[in-house]
Structure 1
Amino acid sequence: MDQENVSATLTVAVPAARVFAVLADPTAHSAIDGTGWVREAVDRAPLTEVGQVFRMDMYHSNHPNGDYQVANQVQVCDPPRALGWLTGQEKDDGRLEFGGWLWRYDLAPLGPSETAVTLTYDWSAVPQAIREYIHFPPFGPEHLSNSLRHLAGLVSGG
């Protein structure tokens, strides 16, 4: 695969501000994800600015510990149009180290009560050392579409 990102788009019948508010709430991320990997928000404050760090408890059967924690750093915060973050980890000395992959949501209002939501997973900045032990993308092609359907259910109250 030459492309180093994947994306999916879904139109939801709610205003962009409502979609952004749900995405900016780390406590909603486990319900949006749908893989069972994202477990619970450690940092529960809404995402409001570039540089903000929020940690999530995770689980993956291929991870050496099974349960682990990621530290995400907001890279894009443009309410109600875009929100994105890099995923990494906090080292023992408190330093943050990112793997180079970015999750990004772009919201395009299609009127007062309809929004096109595009979710992009971009691994173009992942260094070769990480690519040697993690296959990218680390999920099947249906994951982004499933995640957007979960988001649609949350934002529409269903």
Structure 2
Amino acid sequence: MHTVDQENVSATLTVAAPAATVFAVLTDPTTHSAIDGTGWVQEAVDRAPLTEVGQVFRMDMYHPNHPNGDYQVANQVQVLDPPRAIGWLTGQEKDDGHLEFGGWTWRYDLAPLGPSETEVTLTYDWSAVPQSIRDYIHFPPFSPDHLTNSLHHLAQLVAGR
């Protein structure tokens, strides 16, 4: 099931694992490529677990429509409420080390449905994206099915824990 709002899209899936297990997978940047499943997210540059708001983790990316094909994003943790919620802003690190964010966020909300099941909602929000970026990037930059597929990948990873 997914919903598309004016400025965000979300999907929800029940995962057969405790919330703490699901949260542990989400806080591990090395799992994000497998969770994404599109081939856009390549490899975690920063492999340390996500433990605090403000923490930055970089990911190697690939997209056929990107001017360079291969590029890197810098994500900054915005929400970290174990084992209930985790979210981050996506941007880029400039040559001088300054971070610049595009205005879109990824967020996972976890609701325990008992000791071994968790309802996971993944939300992609672009409400803070300035018009200058909207002029050349269509939002959302993927079909709504992407979020559902991503949650299924997460469920598979969690099942292997």
**Superposition TM-score tier, normalisation by shorter sequence:** over 0.9
Cα distance in structure 1, aligned partners of 2:147 and 2:32? 13
The alpha-carbon deviation at position 2 of structure 1 amounts to 6.2
What secondary structure is seen at the aligned counterpart in 2 of 1:32? helix
Partner of 2:50: 47
What secondary structure is seen at the aligned counterpart in 2 of 1:75? strand
Partner of 1:69: 72
CA deviations 1:4-43 (Å, max 9, x no partner) are 0000000011000000000000000000001100000000
- Size of the aligned set, in residue pairs, is 158
What secondary structure is seen at the aligned counterpart in 2 of 1:27? helix
Cα distance in structure 2, aligned partners of 1:107 and 1:2? 20
TM-score, with normalisation over the residues of structure 2?
0.96
Once the two structures are superposed, the pairs formed by residues 26-41 of structure 1 within 5 Å of their partners are: 26-41=29-44
- Identity rate, percent: 87
The alpha-carbon deviation at position 91 of structure 1 amounts to 0.4
Match of 1:108 among 108, 111, 114: 111
Cα distance in structure 1, aligned partners of 2:22 and 2:130? 32
The alpha-carbon deviation at position 107 of structure 1 amounts to 0.1
Partner of 1:143: 146
Unaligned runs of 5+ in 2: none
Cα distance in structure 1, aligned partners of 2:31 and 2:137? 26
Cα distance in structure 2, aligned partners of 1:156 and 1:79? 19
CA deviations 1:45-94 (Å, max 9, x no partner) are 00010000000000000000000000000000000000000000000111
Letter in 1 for 2:24: A
1:10/1:2 CA distance change after superposition, 3 Å: closer
Cα distance in structure 2, aligned partners of 1:2 and 1:47? 28
* 1:123 counterpart = 2:115: no
Match of 1:81 among 79, 84, 87: 84
The alpha-carbon deviation at position 121 of structure 1 amounts to 0.1
Cα distance in structure 2, aligned partners of 1:141 and 1:13? 23
The alpha-carbon deviation at position 157 of structure 1 amounts to 1.1
What secondary structure is seen at the aligned counterpart in 2 of 1:28? helix
Structure 1 vs Structure 2 CA RMSD: 1.1
Unaligned runs of 5+ in 1: none
Q: Return structure 1 stretches of 4+ with deviation > 4 angstroms.
A: none
Letter in 2 for 1:5: N
Match of 1:5 among 8, 23, 26: 8
Cα distance in structure 2, aligned partners of 1:30 and 1:120? 17
